[in-house]
Chain A
Amino acid sequence: MNSRDFISVIRRVRSPVSVDHDFGKGTSKTTLGLVADTFARRFLSSIKKERQVFVPRFIEIVIHSGEQVLISRLYRTDFKRSIADVFRIQVISNSDVRSPIITLGSTSFFHVRVNNLYVVAVTKTNANAALVFEYCYRLISIAKSYFGKVDEEAVKNNFVLIYELIDEINDFGYPQNSETDTLKSYITTESIMSSAYAAEESSKITTQATGATSWRRGEVKYKKNEAFVDVVETVNLSMSAKGTILRADVDGHIQMRAYLSGTPECKFGLNDKLVIDKNERGASDAVELDDCRFHQCVRLNEFDATRTISFIPPDGEFELMRYRCTSNVKLPLRIIPTVNEIGTTQVSYTVSVKGSFGAKLSATNVVLKIPTPLNTTTVDCKVASGKAKYVPAENIVVWKIPRIQGGQECTFTATADLTSTTVRQVWARPPIDVDFQVLMFTASGLIVRFLKVFEKNNYHSIKWVRYLTKASGSYQIRVSLGCLIGF
């Protein structure tokens, strides 16, 4: 092919704005660095304390703890460290921030909060917003995998390492290889002597970091070859007070821990059927997945052509796939609330929970949060199973049931006493929220049909599969409008 013709090296006529070499105005791109620098000294000396984050190309990154900058890596010359001050004023000190993105003039700030830290990315370009947030999430997950947790203490204790990491996973604002497994092979907390850093060893690392399987280290060896597959499903339910299902769907993800030697080739099978057109649905036992997304190790072309999930797994834990399912969702817990107003001073509650799954299975850690009006004084609760307690600070009754067997039904009855108020308080009527876990149950009905491992050494491998369905903050039953409004 003629490799010459795809870029025409044509110098564009420069626009009058960009030829501006007047330093005082400081708008020309070419002079930006110099201008910034002249002012830099003055600004730098005026900065006090604060904590912040990191930044990529389109971006500068800062980690901010709310009062102090903890990490600040500027990849471009068009920013100074004082950029963190602007962020502090605009976002941290602002009690009513209504967007994760703020644009001031040409400068945009993207922020993600994690344990009171702000991870902030700053850019002056029309950055890819999805990329910026994905990068911030990745940064957080890498930090988690390195230090166990991401909070002010962990960041401060490892700040030098974090600088090393962000320099490695981001060059000039362009995210680079960010696979934890590979990173750990050469960004470590141990002191490495440059000379001892054998060139050959490094070549292996670089090949891996840039290779087609950048997520896997070469020579992995295990005595016992094992693979654990966890199918974890989160059920989202929104049910009206009348018992109509407004929305029920499942966000599933398949977490895998692979402890397999060499370069194993895996094939994975589910009882799935991807629905492209909802009108084309036919009768079949297969689970209908609305959508699935895969870890980058999965060969998408092959999945598209033959529906097989084949991949060379990273070593250790990773998320193999995510999927979504909206049809035939089996709701593990059936909740029936009855809330009645008795005069203006009392509200009576009867809430029943039933486990609608096989008798051998059980739901554990069931927690129901039942909202009470804002002017509630006391709540008298009666429960046969578990414990119920009124939490005045949150205006809810928390009913905890350690275990509900399949088919078992538990009932909660209570009466809330209200103070009579003359002023109507706005009550948002939060829904009843239910958290729970059910082991060996999938709300979608998804089953792992097989997991095959092929490796040139032909070793025997053991595979384990677990299923878990859970809800936390997403399983909600609304409280009737007729009964409770107006308290």
Chain B
Amino acid sequence: MSSQHGQDAKFFQRGKIEEFRAELQAAESKDKKYQKRKTVLKKIVANITMGNDMSPLFHDVIQCIGTPLLEIKKMVYLYLVSYGRSKPDQIHMVIPSFLQDCNDRNPLIRALAIRTMAYIPIPVVTEALSDQLRHCLKDRDPYVRKTAAICVAKLYVADPRKAEKAGFVEMLRDMLLDSNATVVANAVAALSEIGDRQDGVIFRLNLTVANKLIASLGESSEWGQIYILDSLLRFVPEEHSEAEMMGERIIVQLQHANSAVVLTAIKVLLYLMNYMENRRLIEYICKKMGPPLVALLSSGPEVQYVTLRNILLIIQRRPAVLKNDVKVFFCKYNDPIYVKLAKLEIMYRLAREENAQEVLAELEEYASEVDIDFVRKSVRSIGRLAIKVEAAADNCIQSLLTLIETKVTYVVQEAVIVIKDIFRRYPGKYEGIIPTLCENLDVLDEPESKAAMIWILGQFANRIDNADELLDDLVYSFLDEPTEVQLALLTATVKLFIYKSTSDATKALVHKVLKWATENVDNPDLRDRGFMYWRMLAVNPTLAQELVLAQKPAITTDSDRMDRGALDQLLLHTGTLGSIYHKNPETFIRNAAGRALVDTPALNPSSRAVILPLSRPHLPPTTVTVQGPGPIEPTYVPPAEPSKLVASATSEASGQDLLDVDNAIARPGSYDGEIDVDGEDEVPVKTGDPYANLDGAFGGYLADKPQPMSSSRGGNTNFDDLLL
């Protein structure tokens, strides 16, 4: 082994173009075994890596192309891949040498030549390559053929129309019948890329070819299996039996050691299940999917993370999967934070009456860890558990009270936020703990928790003896509070007044707040609400009472599941980036291809009922001013720029509109919340609720989910342009 240790580190030094040129020229005369040339080229490659522009040496470097040493040839080719594109006027000088290599007896050299040529997408090279490629696609050596298949994809990216005209797409298609599995896999990969382009040909599979591809899985490399499995989504079953047979043949791939093979196989199975009729087979597949998913949790943390984010989707669509396995998602002390947060979500999803105690015990454990995010999410999960599993509510409340006793600020704030929802979920059951909450009033310094506490004070003002004093204190800083808190204060004082309309102090308080809200505040929402209350109280106090203290719709956890149709669509992207962010790729990646289930006679009635058409691509803007590079927070929205705030709000809204419109078609009237991507408890807001505008005050749960850092429409940040 020691003989294999290179000694090239010394070449990592910034060098001057002139020196390298002189050294290369010196090497032309006396160069035993080409050692000198090799050394200079290594220096040049090191400098390219370090980001130093070596393009002025183009002419000198290509002189070495004829050197019969393979290592030198590869370095020259690497140089050409780096700078070839920028030298369209000189590149013709290397073409003869490329052509010679394309016809070398050695298949490795032939493949190397076409591979390199295809990396240089300028017309004179692609022209020369086209002729060679036609032969290479039919080369007797499979290694050359598999390289040629990828070259077609490269050519297609460089100039789609030309590649089509030259007939390469048809040749690729014929390669799907090649006798060598590696060639088939690469042809599939190339066709898939071409088929995913918005301006490309459409790539579909029929039953015969799909079956042939499945048959070649056994002989493919692990990567080849991924390309082939992925392409099976392009086959649309017309009959139940087609989907069922195919599913049965793919199940064995779940046993593969490569996590990408497993997740891609799961993707295909989930897709095919939409077209299956045989309930037993569906159940069997669900059972078979669980263990491999759990097994992936012993891979590296990165793969664990990918798996966990996918499990979160899969168990929403197929609750049978992993339903008894909540324990494997308990966090290990040394799990990376992203793994812990993802596990927490799944634990909550899998919690049921039978395992609620175990889950609660874990959550309590986590609530005393040090990572603030993790602790907060754990506390919140305890509250959500109380809302989800009625039988565990008592214990959850008890545990929240214990946590409040710790007086750790963020724990208390988080607890108050969830307790507010618990009050709404179980009216009349836990109000006895209000005094304990009131003791911690001073700790609350975040808008969300403050607003939650104020809501509690207002809602139960009739049970809290000193509610007027407490609110009076809070109102003191009214004008300095964020809108969220101001809105809550306004409503709470109105409620207080309705409960205790006889008290002069209350009257004065409500008058003060209404006056502030309508006269001293710029926020239109706040002002409008102030006027509304004021007029209502003035015109008809009885009606005001009915309205303000109207019965609230019950909170359930039904709304925290993602819409079925949206899930079906998202699961077509299992294992990909889209599945990490729980977003369809076309909504956050420019030019990404969306996927949708195709309606055929074989499609399940239940899947058909919720089918979503491909959503309109939501493309990022085309021209944007570029902000200088710098760390940008995921949820960063500069508050000082009102125009930008509005802009980002509209862009988000349009995304939701899309989904909402689709929902309305799919399940009229059954769903009026937004699609809750992260599965947090979203309070379903009905129009009759006086808090309808208070989204911000009671939502905000989505802030900490993983998400792409997107550019705002019309804003001044656009990463695409930044990175171009």
* Max chain A C-beta neighbours (<10 A), residue from B49, B287, B300: B49
A362 within 8 A of B: no
B523 within 8 A of A: no
Given A1-B208, A98-B338, are A134 and B301 neighbors across the interface (CB < 8 Å)?
A: no
B576 within 8 A of A: yes
Contact B221 A79 (CB under 8 A): no
B330 within 8 A of A: yes
Chain B residues contacting A377 (CB-CB under 8 Å) are none
Q: In chain A, residues 301-347, which have Cβ atoms closer than 8 Å to a Cβ of chain B?
A: 301, 303-304, 319, 321-324, 326
Contact A473 B334 (CB under 8 A): yes
B696 to nearest A CB, angstroms?
24
A353 within 8 A of B: no
Contact of B724 among A35, A146, A192 (CB under 8 A): A35
Q: In chain B, residues 45-80, which have Cβ atoms closer than 8 Å to a Cβ of chain A?
A: 45-46, 49-53, 68-71, 73-75, 78
Contact of A100 among B218, B301, B585 (CB under 8 A): B301
Chain B residues contacting A188 (CB-CB under 8 Å) are 4
A239 to nearest B CB, angstroms?
12
Contact of B300 among A35, A78, A133, A240 (CB under 8 A): A133
A194 within 8 A of B: yes
Contact B252 A301 (CB under 8 A): yes
Q: In chain A, residues 200-224, which have Cβ atoms closer than 8 Å to a Cβ of chain B?
A: 202-203, 205-207, 209-212, 214
Q: What's the Cα separation between A177 and B240 when bound, in Å? A: 36
Q: In chain A, residues 431-487, which have Cβ atoms closer than 8 Å to a Cβ of chain B?
A: 431, 433, 473-474, 476, 478, 481, 485
Contact of B631 among A90, A163, A247, A299 (CB under 8 A): A90
B556 within 8 A of A: no
Q: What's the Cα separation between A7 and B208 when bound, in Å? A: 12
Contact B303 A428 (CB under 8 A): no
Cβ contacts B325-336/A at 8 Å (1 or 0 each): 001101011100
Contact B209 A6 (CB under 8 A): yes
Contact B578 A27 (CB under 8 A): no
Contact of B255 among A6, A80, A303 (CB under 8 A): A303
Cβ contacts A103-117/B at 8 Å (1 or 0 each): 111111010100000
Given A105-B711, A157-B9, are A129 and B579 neighbors across the interface (CB < 8 Å)?
A: yes
Contact B327 A246 (CB under 8 A): yes
Contact of A301 among B200, B218, B307, B622 (CB under 8 A): B218
B630 within 8 A of A: yes
Cβ contacts B693-720/A at 8 Å (1 or 0 each): 0000000000000111111000000111
Q: In chain B, residues 66-97, which have Cβ atoms closer than 8 Å to a Cβ of chain A?
A: 68-71, 73-75, 78, 85-86
Contact of A86 among B6, B201, B306, B723 (CB under 8 A): B723
Contact A160 B338 (CB under 8 A): no
Chain B residues contacting A15 (CB-CB under 8 Å) are 198-199, 617
Chain B residues contacting A128 (CB-CB under 8 Å) are 226, 230, 260, 263-264, 575-576
B369 to nearest A CB, angstroms?
5
Residue of B nearest to A324 (CB): B295
B580 within 8 A of A: yes
A394 within 8 A of B: no
Contact A30 B287 (CB under 8 A): no
Contact B576 A129 (CB under 8 A): yes
Given A105-B710, A476-B333, are A174 and B107 neighbors across the interface (CB < 8 Å)?
A: no
Contact of B581 among A72, A103, A107, A158 (CB under 8 A): A103
Contact of A104 among B230, B575, B590, B709 (CB under 8 A): B709
Chain A residues contacting B104 (CB-CB under 8 Å) are 199
Cβ contacts B363-401/A at 8 Å (1 or 0 each): 011001110010000000000000000000000000000
A296 within 8 A of B: yes
Chain A residues contacting B368 (CB-CB under 8 Å) are 428-429, 481, 485
Chain A residues contacting B579 (CB-CB under 8 Å) are 129
Given A131-B575, A191-B71, are A212 and B219 neighbors across the interface (CB < 8 Å)?
A: yes
Given A9-B164, A148-B1, A426-B370, are A126 and B578 neighbors across the interface (CB < 8 Å)?
A: yes
B197 within 8 A of A: yes
Contact A102 B51 (CB under 8 A): no
A18 to nearest B CB, angstroms?
5
A396 within 8 A of B: no
Given A6-B205, A194-B68, are A428 and B370 neighbors across the interface (CB < 8 Å)?
A: yes
Q: What's the Cα separation between A120 and B568 when bound, in Å? A: 31
Chain A residues contacting B474 (CB-CB under 8 Å) are none
A423 within 8 A of B: no
Q: What's the Cα separation between A459 and B721 when bound, in Å? A: 64
Given A33-B158, A191-B33, A210-B143, are A101 and B580 neighbors across the interface (CB < 8 Å)?
A: yes
Given A36-B724, A112-B300, A171-B147, are A57 and B334 neighbors across the interface (CB < 8 Å)?
A: no
Given A30-B160, A164-B74, are A105 and B718 neighbors across the interface (CB < 8 Å)?
A: yes
Contact B295 A33 (CB under 8 A): no
Residue of B nearest to A99 (CB): B338
Q: What's the Cα separation between A481 and B406 when bound, in Å? A: 13
Contact of B5 among A158, A179, A294, A485 (CB under 8 A): A158
Q: In chain A, residues 35-72, which have Cβ atoms closer than 8 Å to a Cβ of chain B?
A: 35-37, 39-41, 44-45, 47-50, 57, 68-72
Q: In chain A, residues 332-377, which have Cβ atoms closer than 8 Å to a Cβ of chain B?
A: none
Q: What's the Cα separation between A324 and B202 when bound, in Å? A: 42
Chain B residues contacting A323 (CB-CB under 8 Å) are 295
Contact B5 A148 (CB under 8 A): yes
A263 within 8 A of B: no
B162 to nearest A CB, angstroms?
11
Q: What's the Cα separation between A321 and B298 when bound, in Å? A: 13
Chain A residues contacting B119 (CB-CB under 8 Å) are 75, 172
Contact A159 B203 (CB under 8 A): no
Contact A174 B252 (CB under 8 A): no
B146 within 8 A of A: yes
B180 within 8 A of A: yes
Contact B153 A172 (CB under 8 A): yes
Contact of B258 among A8, A20, A134, A167 (CB under 8 A): A134
Interface stretch among B182-190, B511-519, B605-613, B642-650?
B182-190
A272 within 8 A of B: no
B73 to nearest A CB, angstroms?
6
Known A-B contacts: A176-B223, A430-B333. Give 5 more (CB < 8 A): A35-B724, A103-B577, A134-B303, A157-B7, A247-B328
Would you mind naming 13 contact pairs between A and B with Cβ atoms under 8 Å apart?
A10-B201, A27-B590, A33-B158, A44-B53, A49-B51, A83-B723, A129-B577, A133-B259, A159-B11, A236-B332, A276-B284, A290-B294, A291-B292
